[in-house]
Amino acid sequence: MKVLIYRTAQEAKTQAAHRILSAVHREPEVVLGLATGGTMEGVYAALVAGSRQHDTSWAKVTTFNLDEYWGISPDDPASYRRYMNHHLFYHIDIDLSQTHVPLADGADPQKAAQAYDAVIREVGGIDLQLLGIGVNGHIGFNEPTSSLSSRTRLKTLTQSTREANRRFFRTIDEVPKYALTVGIGTILEASECLLVATGDNKAAAVWSMIEGAVSAACPASALQMHAQVTVMLDAAAAKDLKLRSYYQLVHPDGQESALNDV
């Protein structure tokens, strides 16, 4: 894992956006895996600003979101489809028909899940997967004890995840109990992963992901098995890392490489 520690949350998010933008410039037909949540709002704001500044065309980009609450229609204000449209898609020239969010308002979650995996396969897989991490170590909505080789499926959300996401709803009872989520096996098949975590409420999960044992108890720890993972943190999220000074030696304040004397 490449561990980049920035001084501020804003810097971590801006640098993550910069990497995604570079991927779009390098490969206009890139297939991106996208995430939602509070952290990503800052990443997408920086991505929209960067796209305007560099006149980036997203016309040939394809995207797949990680998850959607089960039982929520795409035009529900709390849906991740709405979130993506408002935070990113409406502000860039992407073809909306090339943007995918699991369809979670049907009758058959298993069918919807299999269809989602099939479309990912059809386009040849995900090139760059953007990820956040939950305070309980989840990636997507793969809650602790999710199989590390799971595929897209319906998951029951933990109480801690429902409480963490309560701010997007009026009451806790309105927070859905289930979600369709891309599996950990699917995430591990992406060519490259980029995980962004900021704030000291993420420090314990970030420690487990990077320095703890690979375990379904911390689903994000599965990323230790992936050869191309970059983790972008602010100082607060990195505070529990035992090897923090080592990461700083290799990448001072998140710089790409300090090994000029090799």
- The residues binding ligand PGA (CB under 6 A) are 37-39, 132-134
Residue (13 or 153) nearer to ligand PGA, CB: 13
User: Has 260 been annotated as catalytic?
Assistant: no
User: Which residue is closest to ligand PGA by CB?
Assistant: 37
User: Has 251 been annotated as catalytic?
Assistant: no
162: helix, strand or coil: helix
Residue (115 or 166) nearer to ligand PGA, CB: 166
Phi (first) and psi of residue 123, to 5 degrees: -85, 0
User: Has 138 been annotated as catalytic?
Assistant: yes
Active-site option among 11, 65, 67, 165: 67
Radius of gyration of the chain (CA): 17
Residue (163 or 256) nearer to ligand PGA, CB: 163
In the complex, minimum distance from the CB of residue 38 to ligand PGA, in angstroms, rounded to a whole number = 3
Residue (56 or 195) nearer to ligand PGA, CB: 195
CA distance linking residue 144 with residue 157, whole number of Å? 10
In the complex, minimum distance from the CB of residue 221 to ligand PGA, in angstroms, rounded to a whole number = 15
In the complex, minimum distance from the CB of residue 40 to ligand PGA, in angstroms, rounded to a whole number = 6
> Which residues sit opposite 99 in a β-bridge?
63
Residues 81 and 101: beta-carbon distance below 8 Å: yes
What Cα–Cα distance (Å) separates residue 112 from each residue in 138, 154, 164, 255? Answer: 21, 9, 26, 41
User: Has 127 been annotated as catalytic?
Assistant: no
Residues 65 and 100: beta-carbon distance below 8 Å: yes
Give the residue numbers annotated as catalytic, written as ranges.
Answer: 67, 136, 138, 143
